[in-house]
Each structure stands twice: as C-alpha cells, then as structure tokens.
C-alpha cells in the first residue's frame, strides 16, 4: 500500500465520486476507501474460501475478465510474483488503472484481449526471451477464470484457452453459475433474447450443471479437484431491477424452476501424456477443436 497525506486521501475519495460511475467490485484501496461495487459478497466469500487452498507465493497469475481488477490485486497481495489481468472491456480500464495507481500495484493489464484468444494475444508475454528466459517459460502457474463462463457463447473454447496459457501441473481457479440439485450433465441454454430461462441478462448464455462443469474441465486437459468444490445458492438480482440496464420487453419462459447457485473450484492442468492418447490426438486436431493450441510447449 502507498502512503497518502490527508489531503491526498480526500482527493482520492472525491475522484471516486466524481470521475467514476461504473464499478463491479468492492475493492479495498486502504484508508477506509472501498470502491462502490455490487452486493455480491456471498459469491466473493465463496471464491476466497476456495482460493484459500492455493499457494500464491512467487507464482505467476493470469486473471481473465478482470473487470475492476479485484482478483488480480488480491493475487498480488497474496504474494504472487507477476499478475497479468486481461479483459476486453475498455469501459472499466480506467477504473482498473485508478485502483492500480492508488494501491501501488504492479499488475500488468491487457484490456484488449478476448478470453477466446489468450494464447495468441499474449504472445509477446509468453515468447520474449531477452533475459535468458526461454520462450513459454512464462506460462502461468495459476489462471483465474471467475464469473465469466456463463457469459460466453463458447465456454469450452475459453476453458481450452485457459489451459493453453497454464503450465502443466498449474492450477485453474474457476467460478461460474451452476444448476444445483441434479446429477445430470448438461448446460442449460438461457435462451436470450426470447426466453431467458434463468437470467434476464442478455449476456448470460449457459448454466452448466456441476457434473457438466467437471466433465468440461476433464475434456480440456484439467483434473477437477472434487474436494475443492464449493457451491452457494446465489441468484443475482434481475437486471430489469437495476436501473442502469435496459428492461427486457419479454417475460421469459420458465420451463421449470431451476435452483441456481454459484460454484467455485480448482483443477490441475494435466500432462497430455497422462491422458488417453486417442483422446489427445482428437484434441490436437485444432482445425476441429480450436483452443488447445499450444499446451504441449
Ligand atoms: C461478472 S464480471 C466478472 C468479473 C470478475 N472476473 C469476477 O469474477 O468478479 C464478467 C466479466 O466477463 C467479461 N465478459 C462478459 N461477457 C463477455 C464476453 N462475451 N466475452 C468476453 N468477456 C466477457 C466482462 O468484461 C467482465 O470482466
């Protein structure tokens, strides 16, 4: 934490009120200053609980879909050596930079990178070898994939890209909404824009069941850690109730009442050599299964 005079603290408080309107996280900037994020504390406590099983000391960390940067800053606070924060949302970039500056963080932001193109777009970070580093030595020890999966039309592509950025043996920390109370393995299609079975948020595409989540990880060269799984019941408020979002003009189709929660878990990046060879050969056909494109390096 940087130290500030009382005048500087007042200025930070003033800037927070006047220069920024679009916050998601409650980020502790020190001096009793916290960014005015949503009241999603149960969800965030769940992430912190699962994250407690990971050692961040001296690790390199990738935080995908970092938004205001909460999880990147916290990774750094937990002792990570290098933290890279990616997103493709310029709207929150200045919020991230404001917090980074106030905290005195060294997190490296790349806010023009889609979760579908991580391996390709982080090429400079991965390949640079001026200081006796070998290309791809900077593959990440820990990848944080939080609050993102259900926003994506192609969740498997994104999980595959996370695997392509992580060292074999590294840890994925993933958090998503899930359908509870079923042993089945499926992803419910939310049905936006006409049906919205679970959420009226038009950027919510899918809600996987817990088994589906585990199986998608296994299918992307991760070994899910069953013991890490933690689920809390959490229904985000209807967007139509949050004034800054446009109201949906349809009522939605409730085929069934799904109990929806938030799941957080870890998974270990498996060595492709330990996986069934025929299956790996299929994954290596990236013209059929795009995403797992550099994991063997
Ligand atoms: C709910 S916020 C989660 C923020 C943070 N990772 C967390 O878990 O607290 C969703 C994040 O996903 C990103 N996002 C949403 N839809 C996306 C999409 N279709 N493609 C890429 N990123 C998306 C947003 O930019 C935002 O950073």
Ligand 1 nearest atom to the CA of residue 151, by list position? 16
Whether residue 200 has its Cβ less than 6 Å from ligand 1: no
pTM of the predicted model as reported, rounded to 2 decimal places? 0.95
Nearest to 175 by CA among 61, 262, 57: 262
Query: Is 152's C-beta closer than 6 angstroms to any atom of ligand 1?
Result: yes
Q: 3-class secondary structure for the chain?
A: CCCCCHHHHHHHHHHHHHCCCCCCCCCEEECCEECCCCCCHHHHHHHHHHHCCCCCCCCEEEEECCCCCHHHHHHHHCCCCEEEEECCCHHHHHHHHHHHHHHCCCCEEECCCCCCCHHHHCHHHHHCCCCCCCCCCCCEEEEEEECCHHHCCCHHHHHHHHHHCEEEEEEEEEEEEEECCCCCCCEEECCCCCCCCCCCCCCCCEEEEHHHHHHHHHCCCEEECHHHCEEEECCCCCHHHCCCCCCCCCCCCCCCCCCEEEEEEEEEECCHHHCCHHHHHHHHCCCCCCCCCCCCC
Residue 169's alpha-carbon distances to 26, 28, 280, in angstroms, are: 32, 32, 17
**Ligand 1 centroid vs 114 CA: distance in angstroms?**
10
Choice from 24, 42, 65, 239 to test ligand 1 binding pocket (greatest atom count within 8 A of CB): 65
CB of 121 within 6 A of ligand 1: the answer is no
Q: What pLDDT score does 50 carry?
A: 98
pLDDT at 240: 62
pLDDT at 197: 86
The dihedral over CA atoms of 31, 37, 43, 45, expressed in degrees to the nearest 10, equals 0
pLDDT for the residue numbered 119: 94
Nearest Cα residue to atom 25 of ligand 1 = 89
Instruction: List per-block mean pLDDT (blocks of 10 residues) for the chain, which spans 297 residues.
Output: 92 93 93 94 97 98 98 98 96 96 97 96 92 89 98 97 96 97 94 82 93 98 98 77 57 71 97 95 94 76
Pocket of ligand 1 contains residue 114 by CB under 6 Å:
yes
Domains of the chain are: 39-65+115-284 (3.40.50)
- At residue 258, the pLDDT reads 85
Give the position, in ligand 1's atom list, of the atom nearest the Cα of 65. 27
pLDDT of residue 37: 94
Distance between Cα 10 and ligand 1 center (Å): 31
């Amino acid at each position: 934490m940087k130290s500030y005079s009382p005048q500087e603290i007042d200025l930070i408080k003033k800037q927070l009120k006047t220069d920024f309107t679009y916050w998601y996280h409650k980020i502790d900037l020190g001096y009793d200053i916290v960014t005015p994020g949503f009241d999603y504390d149960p969800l965030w406590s769940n992430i912190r609980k699962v994250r407690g099983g990971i050692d961040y000391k001296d690790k390199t960390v990738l935080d995908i879909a970092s938004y205001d940067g909460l999880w990147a800053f916290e990774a750094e606070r937990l002792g990570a050596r290098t933290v890279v924060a990616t997103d493709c949302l310029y709207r929150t970039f200045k919020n991230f930079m404001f917090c980074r500056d106030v905290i005195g963080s060294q997190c490296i932001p790349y806010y023009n990178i889609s979760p579908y193109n991580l391996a390709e777009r982080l090429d400079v970070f991965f390949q640079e070898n001026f200081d006796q580093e070998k290309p791809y030595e900077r593959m990440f020890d820990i990848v944080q994939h939080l609050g993102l999966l259900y926003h994506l039309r192609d969740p498997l592509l994104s999980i595959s890209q996370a695997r392509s950025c992580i060292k074999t043996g590294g840890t994925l920390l993933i958090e998503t909404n899930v359908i509870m109370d079923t042993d089945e393995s499926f992803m419910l299609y939310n049905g936006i824009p006409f049906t919205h079975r679970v959420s009226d948020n038009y950027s919510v595409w899918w809600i996987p069941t817990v088994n589906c989540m585990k199986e998608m990880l296994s299918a992307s060269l991760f070994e899910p850690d069953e013991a890490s799984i933690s689920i809390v019941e959490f229904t985000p408020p209807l967007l139509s109730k949050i004034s800054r979002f446009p109201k949906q003009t349809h009522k939605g189709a409730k085929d069934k009442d799904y109990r929806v929660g938030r799941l957080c878990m870890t998974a270990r990046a498996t060595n492709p050599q330990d996986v069934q060879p025929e299956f790996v050969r299929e994954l290596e056909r990236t013209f059929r299964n795009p995403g797992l494109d550099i994991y063997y390096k």
